Amino acid sequence: MNQVRNSWVAKENREAAGFIDAAEWEEVKREGEDTIKDWIDEQMHGTSVTAVLIGNETADRDWVRYEIKKSIKRGNGIVGIKVHSLKDKEGSTDFSGSNPLKKFVVEEDGDVKTLSSIFPTYHWKRDNGRENIGNWVEEAAQASEQLSGVQRRSVRRIESIAEGLNFDVGAVIVLGILIVIFIEKYTDMALLKSSESYIFAV
C-alpha cells in the first residue's frame, strides 16, 4: 500500500523496489507464468529485505508464496506487516488474514523452524509502522544473516490441517454464507489490497 511505501522512501538514504502497481501487475499476469516469475525476480535484484503486506487473503495468493520462497533462497530477510486495518481508496478496511510466514519452514539437521519464528510480523497501525519500519527492515536483514545456506535451500511450504476438507456440513454451510456476504459487501474493493508486497533495499 502507498502508506507503507511512502513511509519508507520518505526517509533519507532509502529506496524501495518492486512496488506492485495494480495496472502493471495485471499487464504482467497476462503474459503468463514464466513472465511473472522473471518479473518478480527482476524486482528483487539488488535488495536484501522483502516486506509482505498481509491482508485478508495474502496467505492464499500463489505469487505471494513464490515471493516468500524466492526471497529466502536468495538470502533476503522478510518482514511481515499486517495492513488489513488501513483504509483503501473507498474508505473501507478489511478482515485480518492468516500469516503466510507460518506456512513456510526451513530445516537443517532435523531442526525445523517456521519463518514466522525467525521473522516477526507487525501490525502497521498498532505497532506504529510509520516510525518503526526502518527498525523492522534492519532486524529482518540481520535475522536473514543467521540462516545457513542449507536452511535457505530447504525452504518449503507446509500444508495445514485446515487446508484439507475435514469440515462438517454445518461448518461448510456457515462458511459459504459468510463468503457470499463478504463478496457482496466488498466486491468493489481493490484487488491488490489483500496481497501486496514490497521489496526493500537496505
pLDDT in tens, 36-94: 999 889 888 888 999 898 888 777 889 899 999 999 999 999 999 988 767 567 766 66
Neighbour tally for 123: CB within 10 Å: 16
Cell of 200: 526493500
What pLDDT sits at residue 20?
57
The structure's pTM equals 0.70
Low-confidence ranges of the chain (pLDDT < 70): 1-23, 85, 87-88, 91-95, 160-202
The pLDDT of residue 83 is: 84
> How many C-beta neighbours within 10 Å does residue 37 have?
13
What pLDDT is recorded for position 59?
Answer: 78
pLDDT at 84: 74
**122 CB neighbour count, 10 Å cutoff:** 20
pLDDT for 187: 44
**Geometric angle at alpha carbon 108, from 102 and 110, rounded to 5°:** 85
What does the domain layout of the chain look like in residue ranges?
2-201
pLDDT of residue 185: 46
